[in-house]
Structure 1
Amino acid sequence: MDRFNAVLKIANKQTNLCFGLISLLTAGGEQIFSLVLFKCPCNELNFLYGMVFLLVPALALLLLAYILSRKMWKMMTGFCQPGTYASCCKRMSHCLRIIFQISTTALVAPSSWIAVALLNGNYFECAMTGVNVSDYSERLCGGATSLIQCRKELPKFPCGGGSSVNDRQVVLLTLRARSQILGWLLIASVMLSNILLTCLARCTSPVSYLQLKFWRVYSQEEKNLMDSYTMKHAKELAERNLESFFEQTMPRHVITPSSKDWENISTLYKFSTKDYYYSTLHKYVETGMVRMASLKSAESPADNPAVLNFVDEAGMGL
């Protein structure tokens, strides 16, 4: 477990490397699925079977990315507490914007799966030979010797059955070409979108390059130390309680933050150009408990600039 946590810390420090590893692992997983598990039924289930293998693993990877996002759970915890209609609308709007920000990272693995699967072509071939649409099958079998025979035996083509070898090869090559075109278009669109969003975030950055670099380092160190301090004080409190119980003595005093203190430092960070605090904890410590509570109730939930999204991220894990 310690080695796994160490790997995650290294990956969290190298965002681009992390994305690259995710894409490579996803591509490797798709190849294993394609070789070991995928067997096209070559009947009326072709379309459903192919679409399930193409899209359902991508959906599972997307949901897994949401589950492993600490920022998601930080936002959702206590989200359903009662409040006024206006405050609920603000929270909902803020929640949707945060989900969009998380999705830009969460879509890396699903996009990689679909792109690699389309380049491979097996799932697309199986699915498209099972499409029960006369116009589509006629267009697909346009170059076949016997159009009626091709349409009738089209679902059997992925398994090597059906019409003559030449007809089958023409249809399958056409489907594979379409699949690979879609795969390359998806890869190009994802890369272009990533470049554009990154450039937009950097161009609108409210801080300089070196301060942003320092901010990233501070954010990561604060998260690491928070885990360390949490474990240390939780262990101290547990030892105090067990010692008092087994030795039947009065418990010694151990200082722990109140529920209000935990609530104040658990909110998502809100950047302000007036005060350059580097996290919610930093702001809480600098302003004090009373002022922090008043600021929390008074300020609207403004979004962080996209370039500062790392502030509330803590890698994988709850």
Structure 2
Amino acid sequence: MSFIIAPAIGLLVFGMASNPKLWKSVTGIIKKTKTERREVDEICWTIGGVIGQALYAPITWVAIALLDGRYYACAATSLPYDVEHPSASYKTCEAVAISKIVYTSSAFNDNRSFSQLLGWIIIAAFLIVGMFVYCLSQCTFPLTYYHAKYYLLYRAAEEAEFTDEMQKKAQHDAEANVLKFMEKRRDKALWDRISTVYDFHRDDKSLALYSNLHEWVLENAQSEEMVPLTGGGGGEEGHPEEGGFNEDDGK
């Protein structure tokens, strides 16, 4: 049975881990501002949906394994081989392993038939329950068909666009910070500072610092009374606002 259960658990965990909704719900949840924290029931509802979506793969695996029948029958039958069959050429376990034709016992065949029946029952039950839950969710959805379709398309497009813009912005800011550091020779102490393992933290204005180099660039910009080269414009006293853009970025 471990051949059936272990892969099913692995598929369930992988399905949950590959769903962005799970990580959006739990990442930084303890550190979120109180106004942006979701209620416990909302988080549980989201995680329940993630688990429901992740069940497709493990249930499919279990159903296929049961339809094959051999795995369950081997686990449920104490003597799966018919050693008393007239045509059987084996009397020991070693002989069974090398035999080209293996005759199974009636108990094995009965358990295999039961396994196949159980597999079809699981498939039918999963389809019925899944269809019912899906229809219920559609009935309670706040948007009608085409409006809901536009909503889903917009969410997907926004996610792709946001990821693309973050990639461009991160590349631009990283290049600016590295160029600032490399514009002249630096002493060993500064090299040691940017080479240490970074633990995420914020500055005295609660703005995120993304690396040791990023922190040094902001400190250097403040000391020189100039606008920082990263993080976007609009911050007070030369500080960037998180995730923003400089007015000159698009020029």
Structure 1 length as normaliser, TM-score?
A: 0.51
Following superposition, the deviation at residue 66 of structure 1 comes to 1.2
Specify which of 223, 229, 248 is matched with residue 253 of structure 1.
Answer: 229
* Number of residue pairs aligned between Structure 1 and Structure 2: 182
Q: Structure 2 matches for 1:226-305, cutoff 5 A?
A: 226-248=162-184, 253-256=229-232
Following superposition, the deviation at residue 105 of structure 1 comes to 0.6
> Is the aligned partner of 1:197 residue 2:147?
no
1:174 is aligned to 110
> Is the aligned partner of 1:117 residue 2:72?
no
Following superposition, the deviation at residue 225 of structure 1 comes to 0.5
- Cα displacement string for residues 226-262 of structure 1 (whole angstroms, at most 9, x for unaligned residues): 1100100000000001111111496763444999967
- Cα displacement string for residues 176-209 of structure 1 (whole angstroms, at most 9, x for unaligned residues): 1100010000000111111111111111221111
1:52 is aligned to 2
1 CA distance for matches of 2:144 and 2:32?
40
2 CA distance for matches of 1:238 and 1:102?
35
1 CA distance for matches of 2:75 and 2:230?
63
* Cα pair 1:240 1:252 within 8 Å, conserved: no
2:46 is aligned to 98
Q: For residues 83 and 107 of structure 1, do their structure 2 counterparts lie closer, same or farther at Cα, with a shift above 3 Å needed?
A: same
One-letter identity of the residue aligned with 1:180: Q
One-letter identity of the residue aligned with 1:174: D
One-letter identity of the residue aligned with 2:69: G
One-letter identity of the residue aligned with 1:171: A
Q: Secondary structure at the match of 1:72?
A: helix
* Cα pair 2:177 2:229 within 8 Å, conserved: no
Higher Cα Rg, which structure? 2
Following superposition, the deviation at residue 79 of structure 1 comes to 2.5
1 CA distance for matches of 2:52 and 2:242?
31
- Cα displacement string for residues 261-318 of structure 1 (whole angstroms, at most 9, x for unaligned residues): 67xxxxxxxxxxxxxxxxxxxxxxxxxxxxxxxxxxxxxxxxxxxxxxxxxxxxxxxx
Uncovered stretches (5+) of structure 2, i.e. residues with no partner: 88-102, 185-219, 222-226, 244-251
- Cα displacement string for residues 12-64 of structure 1 (whole angstroms, at most 9, x for unaligned residues): xxxxxxxxxxxxxxxxxxxxxxxxxxxxxxxxxxxxxxx11010100000000
Uncovered stretches (5+) of structure 1, i.e. residues with no partner: 1-50, 131-153, 263-318
1:62 is aligned to 12
* Cα pair 1:61 1:110 within 8 Å, conserved: yes
Q: What RMSD in Å do the two structures reach over aligned CA positions?
A: 3.1
* Cα pair 1:65 1:106 within 8 Å, conserved: yes
Q: For residues 243 and 165 of structure 1, do their structure 2 counterparts lie closer, same or farther at Cα, with a shift above 3 Å needed?
A: farther
Following superposition, the deviation at residue 171 of structure 1 comes to 1.5
2 CA distance for matches of 1:110 and 1:241?
47
* Cα pair 2:177 2:230 within 8 Å, conserved: no
Q: Secondary structure at the match of 1:78?
A: coil
1:127 is aligned to 75
2 CA distance for matches of 1:75 and 1:247?
42
Structure 2 length as normaliser, TM-score?
A: 0.64
* Cα pair 1:119 1:183 within 8 Å, conserved: yes
Q: For residues 256 and 61 of structure 1, do their structure 2 counterparts lie closer, same or farther at Cα, with a shift above 3 Å needed?
A: farther
- Percent identity, aligned pairs only, is 28
1 CA distance for matches of 2:83 and 2:29?
57
Q: Secondary structure at the match of 2:142?
A: coil
2 CA distance for matches of 1:82 and 1:236?
27
Bigger helix fraction = 1
One-letter identity of the residue aligned with 1:78: G
1 CA distance for matches of 2:82 and 2:105?
11
2 CA distance for matches of 1:223 and 1:74?
12
